[in-house]
Amino acid sequence: MPVLVVVGAQWGDEGKGKVTDLLGEQAEMVVRYQGGNNAGHTVENEYGKFALHLVPSGIFNPRVVAVIGNGVVIDPTALRAEIDELESRGISTANLKVSGKAHLIMPYHIMLDHVQEARLGKGKIGTTGRGIGPAYADKAARQGLRMEDVVDPAGFRELVMSTMKAKAEVMSRTYDQDVSSLEAECERYIEAAESLRAHVDDTALMLWKALREDKAVLLEGAQGTMLDLDHGTYPYVTSSNPVAGYASVGAGIGPMELNEVWGVTKAYTTRVGEGPFPTELTEETGEKIRKVGNEFGTTTGRPRRCGWLDLVALRYAVRVNGMTGLCVTKLDVLNDMETIKVCNAYRYRGELLEELPPARSVLAQVEPVYEEVPGWKSDISGVTSIQDLPQEAIDYLNFIIANVRVPISLISVGPKREQHIKVPYPNVGRQGARGQQEGQGHGGQTHDHGH
């Protein structure tokens, strides 16, 4: 593993935390490259069960330097709380480094996030309410505050308060908001941000040095491809770019440094918040998946919308990320299914679409076209090698490979770190993926499974 990007291939919550924690056992640096505490990455390992929001999921390996990159937006009170929680549970954060270029989420961003959602009414995005959109908007508008600003305490307070006053004026005049609490809230944020000063570092330089020494680096994405600001289901997206291309920007290294891109997908699909979701199941089966898969948000506790696997969207994710490997998670959640449906095309006004339609008005109206495959009707949550998977499960995985044309690198069959199957695909890597995409590997197999 030289430099590997772990990217969400769907609408988030694919199990990136689990995969990163697992791969983190072999890494020396793990970098979060975008998003903020809208993310909730669950890790279950020998130390317990954790919900990480900003701290990279590689923190559990004491040899790992965990980096919050410049592409992340940081709510200092949330990061403070997360560090304190980890420390109180015996996990050292001494190796946690935060880029000085990472932007800060401030109380007025959170207020604005709520105000904007309320104003949208029925047309709301369904954000996590963590101030993500307004913080990235300020970054782009060159009005943001950065972690590096905390090095000068007097200057920092002045900067926060003057920015807050300008924002408060807009909020009170334009949106008729009560802004009286903002000053005290900002004091709390200043204190939290200053308490993080020791973690601030030139993380891009650290990363550069690690790469020169051939250290294994993991770049951990948050959210997922379909929530990407450019490539997702706009405007029902987040305000950053989860796609792999942004990993180099958000970590501060060149694009040629990235060697592998592993997309994480559930064996079915979920989405939290509003927006199109062609394979959504609003009946009993959706309810069953939600229950068995425990599909409730890690960050907000909201029930996740559930549906069958959407290979049209997954093919798209393979393409826009340049994926070299696929991690299929939560395969065990389908244990009880008599049959499993997979969407391999959409129908739009009588026409069959095999690729994700670029126009948002079209995506909102497509109908999924399903193929139905037999389920395995047995418990696979303890399986650790391909040979021990039921044939139906192997057939399901091969169906996925054949239709998205990327090899499967990892299969997850439960939330715990050890509940996985590593797939020793002979061609993992650029060559292998390209070969597959050019059709040489069409109909590819999950290799020597012995059946």
Using CA atoms, how far apart are residues 241 and 230, in angstroms rounded to an integer? Answer: 7
50/90 Cα distance (integer angstroms): 12
Contact 90/62 with Cβ under 8 angstroms?
Answer: no
Choose which of 36, 134, 250, 414 interacts with ligand GDP (CB under 6 A): 414
CA distances from 161 to 152, 165, 187, 422 (A): 14, 6, 9, 51
Judged by CB under 6 A, the residue of 9, 10, 14, 56 near ligand GDP is 14
Q: Which of 41, 109, 167, 405 binds ligand GDP (CB under 6 A)?
A: 41
To Mg ion, the closest distance from the beta carbon of 417 in angstroms equals: 17
Instruction: Report the distance separating Cα 29 and Cα 207, nearest Å.
Output: 8
Work out what residue 130 binds among ligand GDP, ligand IMO, Mg ion, none; the CB cut-off runs from 5 to 8 Å by kind.
Answer: ligand IMO
Smaller CB separation from ligand GDP, 111 or 132: 132
Answer yes or no whether residue 227 interacts with ligand IMO by CB under 6 A.
yes
| Residue 40 binding ligand GDP, by CB under 6 A | yes
Residue 13 or 28: the one with the smaller Cβ distance to Mg ion is 13
Return the range that interacts with Mg ion (CB under 5 A); candidates 52-60, 207-215, 290-298, 431-439.
290-298
The stretch near ligand GDP (CB under 6 A) out of 36-44, 118-126, 191-199, 435-443 is: 36-44
Decide: 31 and 205 in contact? Cβ < 8 Å.
Answer: no
Q: Which residues are part of the catalytic machinery?
A: 13, 41
Q: How many CB atoms lie within 10 A of CB 372?
A: 11
Tokens standing for 33? Answer: 């490259």
333 binds, options ligand GDP, Mg ion, ligand IMO, none, Cβ within 5 to 8 A by partner type: ligand GDP
Question: Which residue type is seen at 260?
Answer: E
Residues 372/339, Cβ–Cβ less than 8 Å: yes
Euclidean distance between CA atoms 58 and 55, whole angstroms: 8
How many CB atoms are closer than 10 A to CB 385?
11
Q: Does 40 bind Mg ion (CB under 5 A)?
A: yes
Tell me, residue by residue from 296 to 335, as one string, x for binding to ligand IMO by CB under 6 A and - for no binding. --x-------------------------------------
**CB crowding 185-198: b at 16 or more within 10 Å, else e:** bbeebbebbebbee
Q: How far is CA 417 from CA 85, 369, 382, 413, 428, in A?
A: 20, 35, 12, 10, 22
Q: Which of 38, 412, 436, 446 binds ligand GDP (CB under 6 A)?
A: 412
Token pair for residue 52?
């990480």
Neighbours of 431 (CB within 10 A): 10
Q: Which residues in 308-367 contact ligand GDP (CB under 6 A)?
A: 329-330, 332-333
Q: Which of these, 335, 322, 195, lies nearest to 262 by C-alpha position? A: 322
Contact between 16 and ligand GDP by CB under 6 A: the answer reads yes
Provide, rounded to whole angstroms, the least separation between the CB of residue 176 and ligand IMO.
23
263 binds ligand IMO (CB under 6 A): no
Q: Does 298 bind Mg ion (CB under 5 A)?
A: yes
Cβ proximity to ligand GDP: between 41 and 167 the closer is 41
Contact map string, positions 103 to 142, toward ligand IMO, x by CB under 6 A: ----------------------xxxx-x-xx---------
Report the distance separating Cα 306 and Cα 309, nearest Å.
10
Q: Kindly list the residues in this chain that would bind ligand GDP in the complex (CB under 6 A).
A: 8, 12-18, 40-42, 44, 294, 298, 329-330, 332-333, 412-415
Q: Kindly list the residues in this chain that would bind ligand IMO in the complex (CB under 6 A).
A: 8, 11-13, 35, 38-41, 125-128, 130, 132-133, 222-224, 227, 238-239, 272-273, 298
Q: Kindly list the residues in this chain that would bind Mg ion in the complex (CB under 5 A).
A: 13, 40, 298
